[in-house]
Amino acid sequence: MISVQTDMMLRRHVDAILGGGHLIPEFPLQKDSYDELLRKLTLVHGRMWQLEDEISLHYTDDHYVAQIKRELDRCFKAIRPQLVERLNILAVQAARGDVNADEFLTTCVKETLVSGERPILGYIIPDSFGEIIERVCILKIRIWKLQRALERNDQEPEMQNLINSKLQQCIDVMLPRYLQALEQVWLRIIVEPHMPPEVSVKLYVGFGGSDV
């Protein structure tokens, strides 16, 4: 399933990028593969998280904060939307059987069509394929940071319990919802491959009204 593969890819990228400290955002290229787009999305959001931490540490230095905010705006307003849009286009290309579509996505299309799965009717999630992947990416980064925080030995027991509670909420509640939403949006794209790639996918899913 695409949600399982995406989860594994993002986990690998988060560990490699955040663990290695190499957080220099790169602009997406037209021929980037699905895995490469996930890597760059992780890179951009990891860098934005790092920049926000810098602002909180140096909030009295107006000149430095202004520089950081300019880079933050570049990541958020220029690079991030391109990556999300490219993920949307790649998904629709794969559903159409485009010869230029990423091989992994094309394989997912074939597996889904063979299984005969169809979307669940229910509540509307006004997110595109790329936007839901972005949610998963941000959550995976948050999980990584919470796990690193738990490894520290200088935390008070109350803080450790709070961090652990937040971590379990992310892993047990939020992540399964996001991955389920990703599966449903993916199924919708396969069912309606004629949808233009520039239009965000509106999908009905059965979450009982829960906010995902």
Digit-by-digit pLDDT tens for the chain (212 residues) are 788 889 999 998 898 888 776 566 666 566 778 888 999 999 999 989 988 988 988 888 899 899 999 989 988 888 898 899 888 888 877 776 664 555 555 555 555 554 444 433 333 445 788 889 999 999 999 999 999 999 887 888 899 999 999 999 999 999 998 998 888 888 877 776 555 544 444 433 333 333 33
Nearest CA to 75 among 52, 58, 54? 52
Domain for residue 210, yes or no? no
Q: pTM for this one?
A: 0.76
Domain count, the chain: 1
**Domain assignment present for 97:** yes
In a domain, residue 76? The reply is: yes
Any idea what the Cα angle at residue 42 is, between residues 209 and 144, rounded to 5°? 75
* pLDDT for the residue numbered 208: 31
For tokens 């790649």, name the residue.
90
58 domain-assigned: yes
Indicate the angle between helix axes 62-73 and 34-57, nearest 10 degrees.
Answer: 160
User: Is residue 149 one of the residues assigned to a domain?
Assistant: yes
- Residue ranges making up the domain that contains 109: 2-205
Cβ 172 vs Cβ 42: under 8 Å: no
Cβ atoms of 93 and 193 within 8 Å: the answer is no
Q: Is residue 66 part of a domain?
A: yes
Structural domain includes residue 211: no
Asked if residue 172 belongs to a domain, the reply is yes
